[in-house]
Chains A and B, each alone.
Chain A
Amino acid sequence: MDDIMSLLIPSVLETVYMVTFSTIIALLIGFPLGIILVITEKGHICEMPLLNKVLSTIINVCRSVPYIILMIVLLPVSRWIIGTSIGTTASIVPLSIAAAPFVARIIESSLKEIEWGKIEAALSMGASTLQIIFKVMIPETLPSLVLGITITVISVLGYSAMAGAIGGGGLGSLAIIYGYQRFDYKIMNITLVILIIMVQIIQSAGNGLAKKISKNR
């Protein structure tokens, strides 16, 4: 039992570490992109159809590359930024880059849920583009944004398990090393259960937070 715990605990921590940082970096890249996708659309508050089209196409291209391939393609980039292409820290690079376009689309679709009338009301008061983004669009769609970010975290968790395949560390590595290479199904099954529990926790936390925000609305 102690043996198992000494294997599991570091792996869980590695996974939490990878997922946390990858999600944060993905949000830092994807959130602004999502905003740009919305406001540069035709008829929106910062209409720029060409930029919108270009950005949208790039995001689609990135999203159509299978994650496992993207990881391999990005190995040199990890090596260049982190100094190595294996290990937990190294896998944050492909994880973040893979999740960013996904985040952009999720944020885009949440922000689009706002009624146009509310933006118009702000425009009629002389609000600037930034004021509309930060005082109207984001606060008004916050519950939906929180749920979108929850989905992102869960996806990143899934990707992080795949990162195990190329030496990324974390629960994914554990499952592959023991289950696939050593046929130790016990460890693999425990890993699976832990992943399922983590997903449940993340989803409940996200739902709870979204509910709390929309309580008075």
Chain B
Amino acid sequence: MITIKNLNKVYITPNGGKITALKNINLNIEKGDIFGIVGLSGAGKSTLIRCINRLEEPTTGKVIIDGVDITNLNIRELRNARKKIGMIFQHFNLLNSRNVEDNVAFPLEIVGMPKTEIKKRVSKLLNLVGLEDRAKHYPSELSGGQKQRVGIARALANDPKLLLCDEATSALDPQTTKSILALLKQINKTLGITIILITHEMSVIKEICNRVAVIERGEIIEQGTVFDVFSQPKTLTAKAFLNRSAYELPDDINVNQTANRRLIRIFFPRDSARKPIISRMIRMFEVDVNILAGAIDKIQDQTFGTLTVEITGSKKQVSGAINFLYNENLEVEEVRKSG
């Protein structure tokens, strides 16, 4: 349904500098997907999602939605195309001058729908998001979750085939996040709307996405089904997202590597998380192991573990221990800096 081809975005700063926010992005999003794009702050997520409806102009590349190259449209055609692409925002962006029902009516006014029809459509939409009883309230009288529900109703007003979500739950508490995600999932299922969402929170991806792309410094470094990417992550970023607490080291830890002291991250795929590999390593190589961080996580009933350890001993013992880990088919990485 949506194909992004060789998309690049370069920002020119006021003093003439260049910031490459997106590098050669290629993505394929199928109809009915809930496609997640995850990355750290500043990775380029917002820029990417905003290139899809050209709130941000791509520098080069194509964005094709249902066979139409969005990047080729003139301003009038673009406006019409946008009427069929809903968008919701981290900070909701509701109009304070309008109450709930008038906010939802706004996109309908834009397309020139007659008043009586608007009324019917708005009440349907408010029903869908569970805000019938708040129709006359103003945004300032709503909670964050309710505001986002208004945002969703507004985004769905013109029957879009695609819904873009720019950190839609990042301003909400965990419980509200869950309820909003459930609503998005329901919308995806019952209305068949394709959803693209960006987030810096892995839990959001795990909760509702079927496919995911990991973005780092403007590049897609991994993509696939949520299960594949997070059961066998190839990159450190993906791993870090899988289990962030296992990667965050206290600031005062010395990360300088010497032959007698190595700091490593070990990633235990699938069911090896349950095997006593570390204790065997300690016995066999007589090294000291100091556990700095670690966690075990589950995706769809499979166990995964990440552990950050400090191994000390003689040069020979330490390198032997690390080779042992490699031979056990664990992934091992040197820790360079915390985070």
- Residues of A bordering B, CB below 8 Å: 115, 117-118, 120-128, 131, 135-136, 139-140, 142, 216-217
Contact = CB atoms under 8 A, between A and B. Distances in A.
A131 B99 contact: no
B127 interface: no
Contacts of A131: 109-110
Interface string B259-300: 000000000000000000000000000000000000000000
Query: Main SS of chain A's interface residues?
Result: helix
A127 B110 CA distance: 6
B58 to A, nearest CB: 16
A209 to B, nearest CB: 15
9 shortest interchain CB distances as A-B pairs = A126-B82, A121-B93, A139-B97, A126-B79, A126-B83, A124-B87, A117-B93, A125-B107, A217-B96
A118 B53 contact: no
A118 B82 CA distance: 16
B98 interface: yes
Contacts of B79: 126-128
Contacts of B324: none
Contact of B82 (A123, A139, A140, A142): A123
Interface in B66-99: 78-83, 85, 87, 89, 91, 93-99
Contacts of B96: 140, 217
Nearest to A116: B93
B19 to A, nearest CB: 15
B140 interface: yes
24 contacts: A118-B95, A120-B93, A121-B89, A122-B106, A122-B110, A123-B82, A124-B55, A124-B164, A125-B107, A125-B154, A126-B79, A128-B110, A131-B109, A131-B110, A135-B110, A136-B95, A139-B95, A139-B97, A140-B96, A216-B138, A216-B141, A217-B138, A217-B139, A217-B140
